[in-house]
Amino acid sequence: MSEGKETAGRKHKLIEYANGPSLEEINGTIEVPKNMSFWKTLLAYSGPGALVAVGYMDPGNWSTSITGGQNFQYMLMSVILISSLIAMLLQYMAAKLGIVSQMDLAQAIRARTSKSLGIVLWLLTELAIMATDIAEVIGAAIALYLLFHIPLVISVFITVLDVLVLLLLTKIGFRKIEAIVVCLIVVILLVFVYQVALSDPDWGGVIKGLVPTAATFSTSKSVAGMTPLSGSLGIIGATVMPHNLYLHSAVSQTRKVDHNDEEDVARTVKFSAWDSNIQLSFAFVVNSLLLIMGVAVFKTGAVKDPSFFGLFQALSDTSTLSNGVLIGVAKSGILSVLFAVALLASGQNSTITGTLTGQVIMEGFVHMRMPLWLRRLVTRLISVIPVLICVLLTSGKSAIDEHTALNNLMNNSQVFLAFALPFSMLPLLMMTDSEAEMGKRFKNSLWVKGLGWLSVIGLTVLNLIGLPDSVLAFFGDNPSSGEQSAAKIIAYILIVAILALLAWAIYDLQRGNKRYAEQQLAAAAKEAK
């Protein structure tokens, strides 16, 4: 009786100890009937992939894709394709890790590493989530301002109230949350399909752009201060995000699986991969449409202000649009309104997934749990602070200065993703490569292992190469020679710190994996006796 009272008491605490299944409230709660047709089974497993795909089409992606199209036509289409294929590979491994090991990525890392490293990686991942949250705050606040003419300061505060939306969603069930996310993705997709269809793009150029060339990663050609390499790094950085790997390894466990039946586990892995790849294909289409918008909707070089304000204005300014059909529709204001609606939908989608991811990493790394609404309120209030400061500091300046400052804040906040990404990709690859962790059947095949290492090393190197420019961006649009030197020194220090931390993580993970393999052998020997 006393134990029951203690349990009831714990339920009312705002912050609790948590060391159970990932997202325990929804873990294994969705039944999937067997012996259904392929399409009915796929529908039953569909949903987690949509939650993950949201991160690949959040407001942080918009500016990089549209600006890349404006500056280099269809050249960077191949970068979006490569990023999407790498994303499919990484998300497949993340879902497989969750389903087979019954641990999300944060739990798996923490179980194989020291407590001190776990805390460091938790803080690093929290910073990355807050960085994406800043982009969501900016996107949602600007959308409210553009649609309803609400002053920016008030719009920023209104974004905090999305915690009430989250409270409502927690009451309606996880399957309905998945459905809402899918509906918002469809809204975003339809808006851009409509706008691109009106622009009548050069589809031959689009297809040609899907093939990468040496020029795609060149540093010799510069347009509006952007080289193809910096444009490529921007697209990659905005596309492949660390929090998606943690999220997918958790939400892939929402379907009920009989872990004593290897075939049931294999079926779950298979259909989770189908779900993920289909949803990420939609994300690829959305990002491609954004780049095509930059080329086909606007006249070349017409968009001087790549911020959301500038893009909204350009969609209603007939002098910036590329053909008569677009000009005729733009006069009604529908193009710009649809753009703002899609921006708002994107921000709300990211709100749901960002909160779930925050809970996953907090429980996994430091074994702490708090209600989703409180988690959202805390992280959103922290993320709102830099946005409010930016708005207030530029309130007395021109509209262009205000728009540029917000756009720079959004872009600069993404630098934290370059820090956190290797520390999610590398452990994920090491653990899914391990027979001790995954078993003979579910460990990565040779070709997945090869492509995985190529992707992880390639993305890590590209992120480190782009770090000096990312740091330099904090010094403004026209940095002095002294500031340029300081940016390089800071970047090199950060690169050394990242590599040292990676070496620590690899060492800890290898030791942890070896220890786990020895425990398995000992248990098998004991059972044999």
Q: Give tens-digit pLDDT for 76-107.
A: 999 999 999 999 999 999 999 999 999 999 99
**pLDDT band at residue 10 under the 50/70/90 scheme:** very low
**Cβ atoms 159, 346 nearer than 8 A:** no
pLDDT exceeds 80 at position 372:
no
**pLDDT band at residue 4 under the 50/70/90 scheme:** very low
DSSP labels, 172-233? H-HHHHHHHHHHHHHHHHHHHHHHHHHH---HHHHHHHTS--GGGG-SS--BTTB-HHHHHH
Pairwise CA distance, residues 7 & 171, whole Å: 22
Pairwise CA distance, residues 92 & 163, whole Å: 30
Q: How far apart are the first and last CA of the chain?
A: 40
Which range (118-127, 194-203, 373-382) has the least confidence?
Answer: 373-382
- Range with the largest mean pLDDT of 57-61, 196-200, 315-319, 449-453: 449-453
Name the residue with higher pLDDT: 215 or 395. Answer: 215
Q: Report, as an integer, the average pLDDT of 154-172.
A: 73
Q: Which pTM value belongs to this model?
A: 0.87
**What number of CA atoms fall less than 13 Å from residue 354's CA on the CB side?**
32
Pairwise CA distance, residues 62 & 60, whole Å: 6
pLDDT exceeds 50 at position 470:
yes
**pLDDT band at residue 246 under the 50/70/90 scheme:** very high
Q: Which runs of consecutive H residues, i.e. helices, occur in 27-173?
A: 38-45, 48-53, 59-72, 77-101, 105-112, 115-148, 152-160, 162-172
Give the pLDDT of residue 267.
Answer: 95
Q: What are phi and psi of 300, to 5 degrees?
A: -55, 125
Give the pLDDT of residue 7.
Answer: 41
**Cβ atoms 178, 50 nearer than 8 A:** yes
pLDDT exceeds 80 at position 147:
yes
Name the residue with higher pLDDT: 94 or 18. Answer: 94
**What number of CA atoms fall less than 13 Å from residue 61's CA on the CB side?**
29
Pairwise CA distance, residues 20 & 23, whole Å: 8
Give the pLDDT of residue 263.
Answer: 92
Q: Give tens-digit pLDDT for 300-345.
A: 666 677 778 888 888 888 777 776 777 777 777 888 888 888 888 8
Q: Which has the closest alpha carbon to 250: 26, 73, 515? A: 26
Helix (H, G, I), strand (E, B) or coil at 101: helix
> What mean pLDDT value characterizes the chain?
83
Give the pLDDT of residue 264.
Answer: 93
Q: Give tens-digit pLDDT for 282-303.
A: 989 988 998 998 888 877 666 6
In b/e form, how buried is each residue of 297-331, taking b as 16+ CB within 10 angstroms?
A: bbeeeebebbbbbbbbbbbbbeebbbeeebbebbe
Pairwise CA distance, residues 168 & 376, whole Å: 13
Three-state SS string over 233-262 comes to HHHHHHHCCHHHHHHHHHHCCCECCCCCCH
Entry field: residues in the chain: 529
Q: Decide if domain 35-420 falls under CATH 3.40.605.10.
A: no
Q: Give tens-digit pLDDT for 422-461.
A: 899 999 999 999 888 898 899 999 999 999 999 989 888 8
Pairwise CA distance, residues 242 & 424, whole Å: 6
Task: Identify any residues that bridge with 368 across adjacent strands, giving them in sequence order.
Answer: 17
Share of the chain above pLDDT 70, in %: 92
**pLDDT band at residue 1 under the 50/70/90 scheme:** very low
**pLDDT band at residue 225 under the 50/70/90 scheme:** low
Cα 121–chain centre separation: 17
